[in-house]
Structure formats: structure tokens, C-alpha cells
Copies of this chain bind each other. A is one copy, B any other.
Amino acid sequence: MVWKTFGRENCSLEATASIIGDRQTLLVLRESFLRVRRFGEFQRNTGLARNILADRLQALVGNGILERREYQDRPQRFEYRLTQKGLDLYPILLGLMEWGAKYETGKEGTLVTLRHKACGAVGSPQLACPGCGEPVTASDMEALPGRGAVLKTA
């Protein structure tokens, strides 16, 4: 098992998990993808306490995932929009939604149905090989040590 011999320094999965790997942050991001932008709506739709929500929004802004913009000046009010960096979290959010629908809440009654704007197909995007374009799952892919993999010293 080759992975025994490699360290886990500079792991990109861990980096992401440290930034968005908590339930509250994921709920805030769900709302952002549903185009929710204002504090009160985030609060209503997530059910988070004000202080928790404020903390998560601030962290997401600090990490460049949300952008905070003033939309009113008397009194001063802000809204929160996904940046490109935030929009690129889409595959993760989609994955969470799909897996939950398959195993926990039931496929039949999903909150969201997705449609491809370009071709009009209704259904969720699937993973495909970047080479041949065939659909892939975990067992179709092999994980090899990348250039950043560092051999463990004994």
C-alpha cells in the first residue's frame, strides 16, 4: 500500500476542510448558491444564531469565498455574494446534495432540481474522465503519488 510511505504535508483536501469543513459554513454556502445575499435571509433559512452566522460570514469573506458589498447607506447594510473562488465550490456542494438525496433524505423529494441551461437537460452533473469523457466513480480511478508527495522518513 504505497500511501503508507508518504506523508500528508500540504494536503489540499485538508486545506479545504479547514476552511469550509463545518456544518454551519456549509449551510451558509448552500444559501449563497441559492442566491441568498442578506443577513436576515441567511438567518431565516439556516436557523443559525446571529453570532454564529456573523462569524461564518466573516470567515468566508476573509477567505475570499464571499464578497461583502454595501447595498444601502442609511442605515448601512451589506450583502454577501459568491466570488469566483466561492462559485468554484460548486462540485462540493453538489456532491453533498446528491449523496444526501441518495442515502438520507430520498431522491424523490429533493428540494432542488438542476437544469443545464445550454441544453435544457434536467438532472445532476456527473463526474467524467477528462480524457475519454466516460462517467467515473471511485473505483474507476487510481490515486498515484503526486509531485507534492513527500516520502516519510523513518
Q: Which residues of A contact B (CB under 8 A)?
A: 1, 3-4, 6, 8-19, 21-23, 26-27, 30, 33-36, 41, 45-46, 64, 85, 87-106, 108-149
Contact = CB atoms under 8 A, between A and B. Distances in A.
B16 A96 contact: yes
A28 B33 CA distance: 27
A112 B144 CA distance: 6
Number of identical protomers: 2
Which has the most chain B C-beta neighbours within 10 Å: A9, A12, A26, A124? Answer: A12
Given A3-B35, A103-B85, A8 B119 contact: no
A136 B120 CA distance: 13
B99 A88 contact: yes
A11 B110 CA distance: 7
A12 B118 contact: no
Contact of A90 (B30, B101, B138): B138
Contact of A133 (B9, B128, B138): B128
A119 B6 CA distance: 26
Contacts of A110: 12, 146-148
A153 B119 CA distance: 34
B19 A104 contact: yes
Given A13-B96, A17-B96, A109-B146, A116 B132 contact: yes
